[in-house]
Amino acid sequence: MTTTPTVLDITQHDNTAARTGDKLKRRVAFVTGGTRGIGAAICRSLASQGAVLAAGYAGNDDAAGKFRDRFASTYGTEVSIHKGNVGDANDCRRTIEEVIATHGRLDILVNNAGITSDRSFVKMDHAAWRKVLAINLDGVFNCTKVFIDQMLQQGWGRVVNITSVIGQIGNFGQANYAASKAGVAAMTKSLAKELAAKGITINAVAPGFIETEMTAPVINEPKVQNWILRNTLLPRHGQPDDFDGALLLLASDAGRYITGQRLLVDGGWTAH
């Protein structure tokens, strides 16, 4: 979690808060990169179904604190925030200790934290390669490694990895990002095979081009926007809450017979 988070306005798309349910029955969920963008939308979705939230963040204490306060007041549910770098195994071990000390258990892990460092392969140096792999791929390994023991003790767990369509189709200037997301997809299948008999499902959600405060300046640039919309069957950018249904399916008992899958939520981009 090395990028500085900004707080997503969690009161937007407020129809979610109005229909709070109990599909997750006070399950405890930890979302990496959970205080902004897609991560904040994931927290919103989980809270709407009764989950207790622990949100990871990288470095902006003030923004994370505001997120916690506004989230708790909006949803009336417990939420804790945990500062750390998912690329650092020691930080991840400390985080599990904090989450368990605060909430007593961990049921759902959403590996969402991710970064980009785009440039053509000819211009890409080793530092740019390792920077992205350390967060996007090593981070998933580190967090899953430390949290899985708790799920094994319970005999129940849900791991949802946020990948990307870029991990499937590639993209100019994103060899590092594409490799990291493809690696997560392959890891998802391997872990599903190892852990299915233990009551733990491992799945991935692969969003397409989702408009957040971080991506909007790029995907709304006219040439990029035209390229995206020409190749998307549903003629608009995705919004963070467009994959609420996919996330909640995979995180709840409703998805108990689904594991080792990568669910594409891309507006039909990969249907071409």
How far apart (Å, rounded) are the C-alpha atoms in residues 37 and 212?
A: 5
Amino acid type, 112: N
Q: Which two tokens stand for residue 1?
A: 């979690």
How far apart (Å, rounded) are the C-alpha atoms in residues 236 and 254?
A: 29
Whether 110 and 251 have beta carbons less than 8 Å apart is answered as yes
How far apart (Å, rounded) are the C-alpha atoms in residues 128 and 37?
A: 23
How far apart (Å, rounded) are the C-alpha atoms in residues 246 and 198?
A: 23
Whether 113 and 1 have beta carbons less than 8 Å apart is answered as yes
Could you list the beta-strand ranges (E) of 65-116: 79-83, 108-111
Is 57 designated active site?
no
In angstroms, the Cα distances linking 54 to 10, 36, 42, 87, 225 are: 15, 13, 11, 18, 34
The closest alpha carbon to 129, from 172, 167, 178, belongs to 178
Query: What residues are annotated to the active site?
Result: 177
